[in-house]
Amino acid sequence: MKLLKIIGLSFLGMVSIGTYAQELDANLQLRPRYEYRNGFKSLMPNGEMATSFVSQRSRLNFNYKQEKLKAKLTFQNIRTWGDVATTTQVDKNGIALFEAWAQYDFDAKWSARLGRQVISYDNQRIFGEIDWAQQGQSHDAAVITFHPKNHQLDLGFALNANAENVLEPKIAYTTNYKNLQYAWYHTQFSKLNLSLLLLNTGYEFEKTIGNLEIDYKQTFGTYLSFKEKKWDANFGAYGQTGKSADKKVNAWYAGAFLGYAVTNTFKAGLGYEYLSGKNQNDSSFDIKSFSPIFGTNHGFNGFMDYFYVGNHQNSVGLQDAYLKLNYTSNKWQFTLMPHVFNAPNTVLDASNNEMDSYLGTELDFTASYTIQKDIVASAGYSQMFASGTLERLKNVADTANTNNWAWVMVSFSPKIFSLK
């Protein structure tokens, strides 16, 4: 602790400019999580055994602020308990930079942020932090913000490469998008919030041997939210067009939620999502399946991650009707969410006959307890009741197996020091 304070004071001394008021704070996040996986992300195949493990996120955050300058530096280590020997000299994953950005405020309305940063908007359906994943998600980008009263316009830009190349590489850049540009606008009318998004993402691919090209896909749409004493609601609608790997893109998404506070402690809500897909007997090369791009997909369509979390891309799409029941009492919070999944497009069996559209039902139960302001314990249990159609999509032979998932997590987030 004393050493960290000395480092902090030294940092303030080095960056002092005139008589500007300066602030520096540091905080930790330590987040070990136990998981039991028995059919997580996909149905449990016959003859396979469930697995369990403990993963951990360890983050150290530094936040700096003066009159017009803000900066953030976040180091993190992501590990699975036991992934290195007890006497190891080298950590498997090492220390990574999760965030490293500086922001300059030109005046009360204009600012610019450069560096590794989280880009997250609205309900995180298109742009999100993916905080459930221990590594999270951040971008190397530049974001210019214009924010007069009751309005905000963000313009974002990114350009990615695999190294400081002397010549243009002959191998396609596939680790991430090659470049992106976006505009996000937000305003508020009384109890109604409105956002508009236009996103252009470019992905490099090898069109022919030695011939690299970049195809651009556009994602555009709106998100509205409303809240008053007992009612809250939101609605999102997005379309996708452009090209991907030399194929035309034509896809769309719509989602809505309506919630009502029955009492001060109990709230109920009903939601529905539609993500377009493609019939399995559709012979065209067009991409008709919607992709949430950079969304926090774990927070949608069931916590067992059967859909859109590294899977279900360019598939038959999804319809998700769900109920959300939330009870809060003192330091406790309980949530129960049943999901009913259907395929909005044709799924074919082995004989090319059309199958029933019902995919299955998932039950998600979570509970959390705030031990103190910087220590929160949480746990969850989920179970998937799958249909033969989901079995066909997941290419697993027997849905009679039990498919469930359980987890327990404790998050410690103490502030180490704060200097002014």
Position 2 in a domain = no
Residues 6 or more apart whose Cβ sits within 8 Å of residue 143: 112, 113, 117, 119, 154, 155, 156, 157
- Residue 186, helix vs strand vs coil: strand
Distance (Å, rounded) from C-alpha 339 to C-alpha 260? 18
- Element (H or E) spanning 390, and its range? helix 388-394
Which 3 state secondary structure label does DSSP give 391?
helix
Residue 21 has φ and ψ, to the nearest 5°, of -70, 135
What are the beta bridge partners of residue 150? none
Global confidence as pTM: 0.91
Question: According to the model, what pLDDT value does residue 420 have?
Answer: 85
**Residue 147 placed within a domain:** yes
pLDDT score at 5? 55
Closest CA to 142 of 165, 159, 121: 159
Tell me, yes or no, whether 1 lies in a domain. no
Question: Can you state the percent helix, strand and coil of the chain, rounding each to 5?
Answer: 5, 55, 40
**Number of folded domains that form the chain:** 1
- Structural domain includes residue 405: yes
Could you tell me if 316 and 365 are in contact, meaning their C-beta atoms sit under 8 angstroms apart? no
> Is 398 among the domain residues?
yes
List the CATH number of the domain containing 186.
Answer: 2.40.160.100
What tens digit of pLDDT does each residue of 324-374 get?
A: 999 999 999 999 999 999 999 999 999 999 999 999 999 999 999 999 999
Parallel, antiparallel, or unpaired: how do β-strands 231-244 and 251-261 relate?
antiparallel
Predicted confidence (pLDDT) at residue 15 exceeds the cutoff of 70: no
Range of the domain at 384: 24-419
pLDDT digits (tens, 9 = 90+) for 85-144: 999 888 899 999 999 999 999 999 999 999 999 999 999 999 999 999 999 999 999 999
15 within a domain of the structure (yes/no): no
The amino acid at residue 152 is Q
**Position of tokens 């919607």?**
290
- Segment 245-251 mean pLDDT: 96
Mean residue pLDDT of the chain comes to 94
**Where residue 21 falls among pLDDT bands split at 50, 70, 90?**
confident
Q: Evaluate whether residue 4 is within a structural domain.
A: no
pLDDT digits (tens, 9 = 90+) for 386-403: 999 999 999 987 666 899
Whether 8 maps to a domain, the answer reads: no
- Give the CA angle between residues 167, 173, 177 to the nearest 5°: 125
